[in-house]
A = this chain, B = another copy of it.
Amino acid sequence: MSAGLPPNAKTLVGIGDDAAVLATPDGRVVATTDFLLEGRHFRRDWSSAADVGHKAAARSLADCAAMGAEPSALLVALAAPPGLPVSWARELAGGLAAECARAGASVIGGDTARAGSVLLAVTGLGDLGGRKPVLRSGVRPGDVVAVAGPLGHAAAGLALLMAGMNSEPLVREHLRPAPPYDAGPEAAVLGATALIDVSDGLLADLGHVADASGVQIRLASDRLRPERELLAAARKISERTGSPSRPAPTPTPADALAQEWVLTGGEDHSLVATFPPGTRLPPRWRVLGEVGPGHGVLVDDGQPRTGALGWDHFASGR
């Protein structure tokens, strides 16, 4: 599995010994581990091996970025059925290596085993570069909430796949989410009080932050309007699945679907941060709302929605 997995400058001992050795000049290492399981997190008829590699790497590397760290390395455990073509594993390694390269990391170790389906367990390691880790628990009333990266795109892509519209551009954002890794350290430098990546959906993930910080997060619906491409995708799906063509209510079911993707779609791995009031944010950070006393996550003045909805991989896309 080491072919096509180049080490980087931090790899002191790479693939092939009992363990790898990674430089951690900061004196600390950020570490996270995640499964990517066939049938649950990906389907081999929808995702190419390279797609699976990209997605598996993105999942763990985004968690490193969500601590304010620069991703530095990946360990990959792969179990596969005996009949899996060697070319599939090679393309998987290619996808892992390519996503690592996007993040400045490299694959330094792994394990292989046999199993009835393809199982990946990916550990990401990251470097805080002397900065404090940005936790979920540091938010204060008055902070602003902002996001870097798309919301709802991966959910829209999954819904399009499920409706059989495999060639729509948003499908790629489900198969290969592209987390803005450098936004993590950027948020830390800007003084972010909390940081998380959107893996379970915006409301669910901000719910974790609100709970950990003991605050209420208030989102503004006019900052969460679905983009044109999401609305178009939702309409295509509504047409395909035969929604009634009577004069549409306001909002139409398609508009509501697109809005749901923005609020509850997971796996975009965009980064959501809270910043002290008055922080000058670079343009890629889009303000979504603000923080007050209380608990939970509100959209405008609606009911708190914390925990009410969450991304359940394939299940919630139906």
Contact = CB atoms under 8 A, between A and B. Distances in A.
Interface of A: 12-13, 16-35, 37, 40-41, 63-64, 66-67, 69, 73, 75-77, 79, 108-111, 113-116, 119, 121, 123-126, 128, 133, 135-136, 195-197, 212
A123 to B, nearest CB: 4
A33 B123 contact: yes
29 contacts: A12-B28, A13-B67, A13-B135, A18-B63, A18-B195, A18-B196, A19-B30, A19-B63, A20-B30, A21-B29, A21-B31, A22-B28, A22-B31, A24-B24, A24-B27, A24-B29, A31-B73, A31-B108, A31-B125, A33-B33, A33-B75, A33-B110, A33-B123, A35-B111, A35-B113, A37-B113, A37-B119, A40-B113, A116-B116
Given A18-B63, A34-B111, A116-B116, 7 more contacts: A18-B64, A21-B29, A23-B27, A24-B27, A29-B29, A40-B113, A79-B119
Contact of A77 (B12, B21, B76, B121): B121
A63 B135 CA distance: 30
Contact of A109 (B31, B121, B128, B195): B31
A119 B69 CA distance: 29
A128 B23 CA distance: 11
A111 B197 contact: no
Given A33-B110, A108-B31, A17 B75 contact: no
Nearest to A195: B18
B66 A18 contact: yes
A75 B121 CA distance: 11
A135 B16 CA distance: 10
B24 A197 contact: no
Given A13-B135, A114-B40, A21 B32 contact: no
A27 B27 contact: yes
Contacts of A64: 18-19
B133 A13 contact: yes
A23 B12 contact: no
A35 B114 CA distance: 10
B33 A76 contact: yes
Nearest to A31: B20
B17 A135 contact: yes
Given A31-B75, A73-B31, A115 B19 contact: no
A66 B27 contact: no
A41 to B, nearest CB: 8
Contacts of A33: 33, 75-77, 109-111, 121, 123
A251 to B, nearest CB: 33
